[in-house]
């Protein structure tokens, strides 16, 4: 699981005129929602969001966006939910957000009254086992999630424990986003994203690996580091803003 914070569209001094207009103009995070919820001003007016990405199985990850409020004690009473599906045979072993909050910029514009967010993506460490060669291949997948469609649900608050309860949500493939690794794949009407991929390592299936690879992504620097544990420990550092051909992975 990974947690991240985003500046919301509602952090602007002037209240948004309309949800639809703000989607093209906002410098903050304005989640895309299903058609029946588009135009919901409670989403557009949120000043900040807490994002959670959690693995639900080998090839399924859920995204949860929890709205923040400008004043203490104010309740929004809802959260947003979406799911990302990975191709069969691939497994998510680690998750990290790749985000630039503007505060860590190498050359910030000090004349601006508000800090603007920079590049924002989500990264997965993916493991794939080739059944023929018995080789285990690990890759780093990176994709932008701003255009993923979320669904709105009511949240439940436990006043005694001062907790917000987010109940389990059954998977809905019609609302899922699918990651694809081939442009030739038959995607039908599904919402698909082709992630940026980086090869991490390849080893034999029978090799003893005591620990999963660990990842850390830095959006303000445009880099990502992955530590792999095999017979030796390796640190791979990637320039994640450099375009690479598909065959380089």
What's the maximum distance between 2 C-alpha atoms anywhere in the chain? Answer: 59
| Long-range CB pairs of 21-27, under 8 A, 24+ apart, other chains included | 27/114, 27/116, 27/117
216 part of a folded domain: no
The verdict on residue 230 lying in a domain is no
Using CA atoms, how far residue 32 sits from 78, 124, 129, 148, in Å, is 15, 22, 35, 6
Does 228 reside within a domain? no
pTM beyond 0.85 = no
At 77, is the pLDDT very low, low, confident or very high (cuts 50, 70, 90)?
confident
The pLDDT score that the predictor gives to residue 83 is 93
Q: What is the pLDDT of residues 172-216, one digit of tens each?
A: 777 789 999 876 666 667 889 999 999 998 887 766 655 778 898
Q: Which two tokens stand for residue 59?
A: 């090839």
- Higher local confidence (pLDDT), 38 or 134: 134
Residue 123 placed within a domain: yes
- The closest of 46, 135, 140 to 95, measured between CA atoms, is 140
Q: Give residue 59's domain range.
A: 2-207
For residue 248, being part of any structural domain is answered with no
Residue 32 has pLDDT above 50, yes or no: yes
Neighbours of 30 (CB within 10 A): 22
Counting the structural domains of the chain, the total is 1
Element (H, E) at 124: strand 120-129
Lowest-confidence segment of 10-19, 64-73, 129-138, 173-182 by average pLDDT? 10-19
> Considering the chain, what is the average pLDDT of its residues?
78
- DSSP letter assigned to residue 216: E
Amino acid 162: pLDDT: 73
What is the structure's pLDDT at 249? 44
- Give the helix/strand (H/E) hosting 42: helix 41-44
Q: What is the pLDDT of residues 89-103, one digit of tens each?
A: 999 999 999 987 655
The listed range with the strongest mean pLDDT (18-22, 132-136, 198-202) is 198-202
Q: Is residue 177 assigned to a domain?
A: yes
| Separation CA 19–CA 182 (nearest Å) | 34
Q: Tokens standing for 120?
A: 């924002």
pLDDT at residue 21 above 50? no
Distance CA 244, CA 196 (A): 8
Q: How many CA atoms lie within 13 A of 89 on its CB side?
A: 8
Lowest mean per-residue pLDDT among 64-73, 78-87, 91-100: 64-73
Instruction: Estimate the share of the chain in helix, then strand, then coil, as percent rounded to the nearest 5.
Output: 10, 45, 45
Token pair in block for residue 243: 């375009």
> Does residue 103 sit within a domain?
yes
CB atoms within 10 A of CB 130: 12
89 is written with which tokens? 């045979």
Interval 30-49 mean pLDDT: 79
Q: What average pLDDT does this structure show over 107-112?
A: 53
pLDDT in tens, 233-245: 889 899 988 765 4
229 within a domain of the structure (yes/no): no
């Amino acid at each position: 699981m990974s947690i991240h914070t985003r500046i919301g569209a509602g952090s602007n001094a002037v209240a948004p005129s309309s949800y639809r207009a703000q989607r093209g103009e906002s410098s903050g995070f304005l989640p895309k929602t299903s058609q029946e919820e588009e135009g919901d001003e409670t989403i557009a007016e949120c000043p900040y969001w807490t994002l959670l990405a959690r693995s639900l199985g080998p090839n399924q990850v859920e995204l949860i966006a929890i709205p923040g409020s400008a004043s203490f004690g104010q309740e929004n009473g809802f959260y947003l939910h979406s799911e990302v599906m990975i191709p069969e045979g691939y497994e998510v072993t680690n998750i990290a957000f790749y985000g630039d909050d503007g505060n860590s910029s190498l050359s910030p514009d000090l004349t601006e009254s508000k800090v603007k967010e920079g590049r924002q993506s989500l990264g997965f460490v993916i493991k794939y086992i080739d059944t023929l060669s018995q080789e285990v291949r690990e890759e780093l997948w990176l994709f932008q999630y701003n255009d993923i469609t979320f669904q709105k649900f009511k949240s439940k608050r436990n006043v005694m424990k001062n907790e917000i309860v987010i109940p389990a949500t059954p998977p809905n493939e019609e609302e899922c986003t699918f990651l694809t690794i081939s442009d030739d794949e038959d995607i039908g009407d599904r919402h698909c994203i082709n992630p940026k991929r980086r090869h991490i390592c390849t080893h034999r299936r029978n090799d003893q690996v005591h620990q999963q690879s660990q990842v850390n992504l830095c959006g303000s620097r445009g880099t990502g580091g992955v530590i792999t544990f095999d017979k030796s420990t390796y640190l791979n550092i990637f320039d994640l803003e450099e375009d690479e051909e598909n065959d380089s992975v």
